[in-house]
């Protein structure tokens, strides 16, 4: 197949270019989907013109999103709710923890799930694992229903896209209230919170959302070359206990106890972003203005 150059707008006057071979393309009911191959990064997924995952650096994102909260909680994490994550990378890393007994994954767009299973199987976990309950539906609606039924999870992972398109509802206060209500007494929520370089409002905004409903909120980081820089993760805990210190030993391709601890050492300009947001009265912003 013919290769051609494709670019993603990362920020004002800044793009990433990829020479790609298009493997599959579809307009789903929710977004435009493209599966591609690139010589440097391998196969990957693009949604609405934004790179979501590539084979050669996805392990950084997935390992840091999963193992930081689990290692910090030792054997306490037995049930996990994943919202988003159609590529299956989060599922794969969660399944590496033998103490976990139940995994619920909620994915809105079944077309993305099908495409990733077919074209990105190396990234994905085991969908046939008896611990896994796959739900095709809206994450906000699922959490609202789970709250009404008193359902609890030890870990909730929000592997959503950025606050544009179908993910906007996942950044609103009612959703965060429902999330907090679905946490067990020692539960933790993790969500990706954008790149402060190019979306500087997202990370402090997400922190503020969680601070409204949970007592302990922390930020950590990981390098993501295909995203355009360091990505922020926000961790929020029900019991007020920090997740900065690993309580168990685990070593992945990127994750280890040292990278766990180091991830919480934030650049000065990140802490200033947080302080400025607080100083400005945590003024709500329209989701689209993040980008």
The pair of structure tokens assigned to 232 is 């922020």
Selected catalytic residue, list 87, 159, 162, 178: 159
Indicate the burial class of 148 (C-beta count within 10 angstroms; 0-12, 13-18, 19 or more): exposed
Locate tokens 């435009």: which residue? Answer: 32
Is 54 in a helix, a strand, or coil?
Answer: strand
Q: Could you give the CA distance from residue 116 to residue 82 in angstroms, rounded to a whole number?
A: 16
Picking from 220, 202, 208, the residue whose alpha carbon sits closest to that of residue 67 is 220
Dihedral angle sign, alpha carbons of residues 166, 170, 284, 173: positive
- Buried-state track 166-203, b at ≥16 Cβ within 10 A, e below 16: bbbbbbeeebbbbbbbbbbeebbbbbbbbbbebbbbbb
Q: Could you give the CA distance from residue 123 to residue 116 in angstroms, rounded to a whole number?
A: 9
Q: Could you give the CA distance from residue 147 to residue 202 in angstroms, rounded to a whole number?
A: 26
- Alpha-carbon dihedral angle through residues 7, 63, 239, 263, given to the nearest 10 degrees: -70
* Residues composing the chain: 291
Catalytic site includes residue 37: no
5 phi/psi in degrees, rounded to 5? -90, 130
Q: What positions carry a catalytic annotation?
A: 159
């Amino acid at each position: 197949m013919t290769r051609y150059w494709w670019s993603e707008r990362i920020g004002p006057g800044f793009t990433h270019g990829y020479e790609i071979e298009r493997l599959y393309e579809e307009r789903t009911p929710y977004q435009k989907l493209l599966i591609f191959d690139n010589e440097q990064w391998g196969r990957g997924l693009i949604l609405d013109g934004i790179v979501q995952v590539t084979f050669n650096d996805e392990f950084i994102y997935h390992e840091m999103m999963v193992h930081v909260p689990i290692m910090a909680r030792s054997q306490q994490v037995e049930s996990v709710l994943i919202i988003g994550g159609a590529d299956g990378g989060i599922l794969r890393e969660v399944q590496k923890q033998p103490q976990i007994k139940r995994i619920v994954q909620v994915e809105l767009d079944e077309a993305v799930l099908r495409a990733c299973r077919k074209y990105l199987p190396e990234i994905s976990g085991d969908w046939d694992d008896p611990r896994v309950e796959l739900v095709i539906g809206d994450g906000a609606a699922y959490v609202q229903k789970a709250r009404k039924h008193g359902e609890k999870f030890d870990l909730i992972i929000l592997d959503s896209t950025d606050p544009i398109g179908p993910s906007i509802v996942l950044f609103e206060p009612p959703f965060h209230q429902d999330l907090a209500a679905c946490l067990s007494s020692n539960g933790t929520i993790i969500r990706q919170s954008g790149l402060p370089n190019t979306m500087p409002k997202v990370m402090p905004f997400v922190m503020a959302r969680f601070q409204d409903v949970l007592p302990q909120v922390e930020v950590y980081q990981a390098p993501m070359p295909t995203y355009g820089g360091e990505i922020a993760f926000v961790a929020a805990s029900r019991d007020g206990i920090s997740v900065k210190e690993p309580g168990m030993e685990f070593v992945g391709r990127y994750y280890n106890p040292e990278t766990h601890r180091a991830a919480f050492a934030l650049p000065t300009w990140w802490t200033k972003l947080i302080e400025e947001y607080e100083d400005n009265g945590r003024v709500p912003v329209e989701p689209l203005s993040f980008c």
